[in-house]
Amino acid sequence: MKTKDVFVCTNCGAQALKWQGQCPRCGEWNTLQEKVVVRRKGGVSHAPANSLAVALADIPVEHTEARSTGFKPLDTVLGKGFVPGGAVLVGGEPGIGKSTLLLQLAAEQCRMGNKAVYFSGEESLAQIRGRADRLGVLQSGLMAVASTNAEEALSILEAPEKPDLMIIDSVQTLTSPRADGIPGSVSQVRAVSSELVEAAKKTSTTLVIVGHVTKDGQIAGPKLLEHMVDTVLYLEGDRKHMMRIMRVLKNRFGPSDELVVFSMRQSGMEIVEDPSTLFLGDRDDSCSGAAVVMAMDGHKPFAVEVQALASRTVLSIPRRTALGFDTNRLNLILAVLEKRLNLNLGQLDIYAKIGGGLAMRDPGLDLGVVASVLSSFYDRPLQPGAVFWGEVDLNGRIRPASGGETRLKQAQRLGYGPIFQSETCRTLDELQAKLFGPE
């Protein structure tokens, strides 16, 4: 056997032959650590050629029926519920409600007669019991384990009486003796997750893994973790607000790019059945700088409020701040307004945000941003009941946004009017004339 020294990044797992201050892949500083790699002598053994490929038509079909989660909207998003042998990765910022929601799901499985195990590496059994009492979800069949040893979790998956649902909270706290490094390192996360997912695939147990996030909002650990699992869920929201949004980033058993809206209550997480106007709050139509947008996130349309403030600056370079959407998109829209509508925005600080603590990437927000900026610039409120959606191009034309028919039906159902979209106004000049008349 031969040994070789390499330097492994603790953030992304990249390898380098010599130490560097900055990781060549992810760009993080001081994350390369020395590691000894053992290489064995001998050639690579090859399997017989006739054993490598199998005809798909000869493989027997396994009919596995998904188990309900106890929450119908969540069943629809996951693809009829928890799939036996499936692996689900749940990410989110600290304190957003991941552990609360998963403990509720485990208790709901026990209430339906299934066996659930809550494996925690972050809390003691007394803390888990206290949280279950506080949420009112303490079930007689709910099992819990407080340990950081991945071998104990594997022994539960390989036991004769396997659970129907097993929750690992979280993968960054577990350690495997077959990998080097401290808990949460790239090597440990890779080893623990691969062992758990492989063991779950051989059984009918649904495995739910909680993953921490980095400062950039990405799930920590190697990207391999997201590729190994069947479903990736991300729970987001502002901890100062009650609303939480669970997004589906990947799903092998159902639709992707979907979402479920939760409300954080004293008794735990409650699903919001119709979030159409949930994020509007108690808005005032008489205030300038606010526009209602029929937004789309996944396949769900709901109304949000886009707010803007244009005020005279005292700086040589005016401020441009956007909360809830990309600041570069705000700069692009402002440049189009200056060019196409001959507005002097260079002496103004402009701030824009989405109400309710939402973060969205819907191109249909463009028209709402334009309307709110114009409303604040002229200091005139928009028409009561007006709703906007549409994408603004660099020529000042308004393009249709995806899901236009769905947005229109939802706006009509909620009683909004007048409706401003690509079919009612084609250019920004036409929009400004309809909103404020000839200027």
Does residue 44 carry a pLDDT above 50? Answer: no
- Is 333 in the same domain as 391? yes
Could you please report the per-residue DSSP string of 60-74? PPP--PPBP-S-HHH
Q: Is 383 contained in some domain? A: yes
Q: Look at 37-46, 161-170, 322-331, 425-434 and tell me which has the smallest mean pLDDT.
A: 37-46
Average pLDDT value for the chain: 86
* pLDDT classification of 420: cutoffs 50, 70, 90: very high
- What is the phi-psi region of residue 85: left when phi exceeds 0, alpha when psi lies from -120 to 50, beta otherwise? left
Spatial separation of the C-alpha atoms in residues 324 and 303, rounded to whole Å: 15
Count of other CB atoms within 10 angstroms of residue 36: 9
The verdict on whether residue 209 carries a ligand-binding annotation is no
Is 96 assigned to a binding site? yes
Mean pLDDT of 252-259: 80
Q: What is the pLDDT of residue 43?
A: 46
**Do 87 and 25 share a structural domain?**
no
Answer with the residue of higher pLDDT: 187 or 223.
Answer: 187
Q: Would you say residue 147 lies in a domain?
A: yes
pLDDT band at 46 (very low <50, low <70, confident <90, very high): very low
Cβ 350 vs Cβ 309: under 8 Å: yes
Both 164 and 82 in one domain: the answer is yes
Closest CA to 401 of 392, 409, 410: 392
Q: How many Å apart are CA 130 and CA 136, to the nearest integer?
A: 10
Write down the pLDDT at residue 4.
Answer: 64
The angle, 0 to 180 degrees and rounded to 10, between the axes of the packed helices 150-157 and 186-201 is 10
* Torsion over CA: 389, 391, 394, 397 (sign): negative
Any known ligand binding at 93? yes
In a domain, 57, yes or no: no
Residue 7 within any structural domain of the chain: yes
DSSP structure string for 24-43: TTT--BS-EEEEEEEE--S-
Angle ∠(64,66,72) on CA atoms, nearest 5: 165
307 has pLDDT over 60: yes
Greatest mean pLDDT range, 35-44, 56-65, 221-230: 221-230
Is residue 424 helix, strand or coil?
coil
**DSSP track, 232-286:** EEEEE--TTSSEEEEEEEEESSS-SS-EEEEEEETTEEEE-S--TTTTT-S--TT
Q: Is 99 annotated in some ligand binding site?
A: yes
The answer to whether the beta carbons of residues 100 and 170 sit under 8 Å apart is no
Single-letter amino acid code for the residue at 331: N
- CATH classification at residue 383: 3.30.230.10
C-alpha–C-alpha distance, residues 107 and 135, integer Å: 10
Three-state secondary-structure class, residue 194: helix
Q: Is 55 within the bounds of a domain?
A: no
345 and 213 part of one domain: no
Q: Answer yes or no: do 246 and 303 share one domain.
A: no
Q: What are phi and psi of 67, to 5 degrees?
A: -95, 140
The model's pLDDT over 128-172, given as tens digits with 9 standing for 90+, comes to: 999 999 998 887 788 999 999 999 999 999 888 889 999 999 899
- Same-domain status, 83 and 27: no
The residue assigned the tokens 């749940």 is 90
**Percent of the chain topping pLDDT 70:** 92
Nearest of 422, 421, 420, 346 to residue 377 by alpha carbon: 346
92 is in an annotated binding site: yes
* pLDDT score for 318: 93
Q: Is residue 283 part of a domain?
A: no
Q: Which of 42-46, 115-119, 424-428 has the lowest mean pLDDT?
A: 42-46
**140 and 241 in one domain?**
yes
Residue 439: per-residue pLDDT: 55
Residues 97 and 33 in one domain: no
- Global pTM reads 0.73
Over residues 61-68, mean pLDDT: 77
Q: What does the pLDDT read at residue 279? A: 76
Only one residue has tokens 């100062």, namely 240
Q: Are residues 29 and 86 in the same domain?
A: no
Percent of the chain surpassing pLDDT 90: 45
Residue 367 lies in a domain: yes
394 and 362 fall within a common domain: yes
Determine, yes or no, domain membership for 46.
no
Domain count within the chain: 3
The response to whether 338 counts as a known ligand-binding position is: no
CATH code of residue 166: 3.40.50.300
Name the least confident of 31-35, 401-405, 412-416.
31-35
Note whether 200 and 85 are within 8 A (CB).
Answer: yes
> For position 40, what pLDDT does the model report?
52
Contact call for residues 172 and 211 (beta carbons, < 8 A): yes
65 Cβ contact partners less than 8 Å away, ≥ 6 residues apart = 80, 84
End-to-end CA distance of the chain: give it in Å, rounded.
81
Q: Are residues 104 and 232 in the same domain?
A: yes
What is residue 116's predicted lDDT score, i.e. its pLDDT? 93
Q: Check whether residue 261 and residue 113 sit in a common domain.
A: yes
Structural domain span for residue 11: 2-39
Of 225, 240, 271, which closes a domain? 271
Residues 375-386 as b/e (b if ≥16 CB within 10 A, e otherwise) read bbbbeebbeeeb
356 assigned ligand-binding residue: no
Q: Looking at the predicted structure, is the pLDDT value of residue 45 above 60?
A: no
Dihedral pair phi/psi, residue 136, rounded to 5°:
70, 35
Which has more confidence, 56 or 433?
Answer: 433
